[in-house]
Amino acid sequence: MKIPTAAFLLVLLPAAVLSLSFFDKHVVSGNSKSCHRNMRNINNEIRQCKHMNTFIFDPQNQLNTICSSGEEFVTSYSEFDIVDCIHDGRSWYPKCVYKEQSLQAKNIEVKCENGYPVHLQNLAKGPG
């Protein structure tokens, strides 16, 4: 039986390489608060309209070093503008429609692995 090379390589690649990173899923470094634009890559990855996603606006790239302490869970000292993108429940992939819900600036808590954020745990009160 002959196994296609592409299929064999996909089995060898770790899941993290095949999926979107924390930054792709949750961080917007520009000024675009457009849910339509920001959700496009996520929806293309899962081939459906994701029900909800939270985006963190980080125009100064402060999140690049949030996990530098070596701790597994870290709460930011800075507050970030947050927007929740909520699917309208009536549209279908690939033409997903979202309602934008902007939240007040919040501290965030992330889970870290190997010095990088991998999961948005919580919108939190400041550390301490």
Query: Quick one: how far is CA 92 from the chain centroid?
Result: 21
Which percentage of the chain shows pLDDT scores above 90? 66
Residue pair 50/14 in contact (Cβ under 8 Å)? The answer is: no
Lowest-confidence region among 9-13, 91-95, 100-104, 107-111: 9-13
Question: Is 102 or 43 the better-scoring residue by pLDDT?
Answer: 43
Is the residue at 51 inside a domain?
yes
Q: At 54, which CATH number?
A: 3.10.130.10
Average pLDDT over residues 23-29: 91
CA dist list (Å): 97 to 13, 43, 45, 52? 33, 11, 16, 11
- Examine residue 69 and state whether it is found in any structural domain, yes or no: yes
Per residue in 72-94, pLDDT tens?
A: 999 999 999 999 999 999 999 99
The number of distinct structural domains making up the chain is: 1
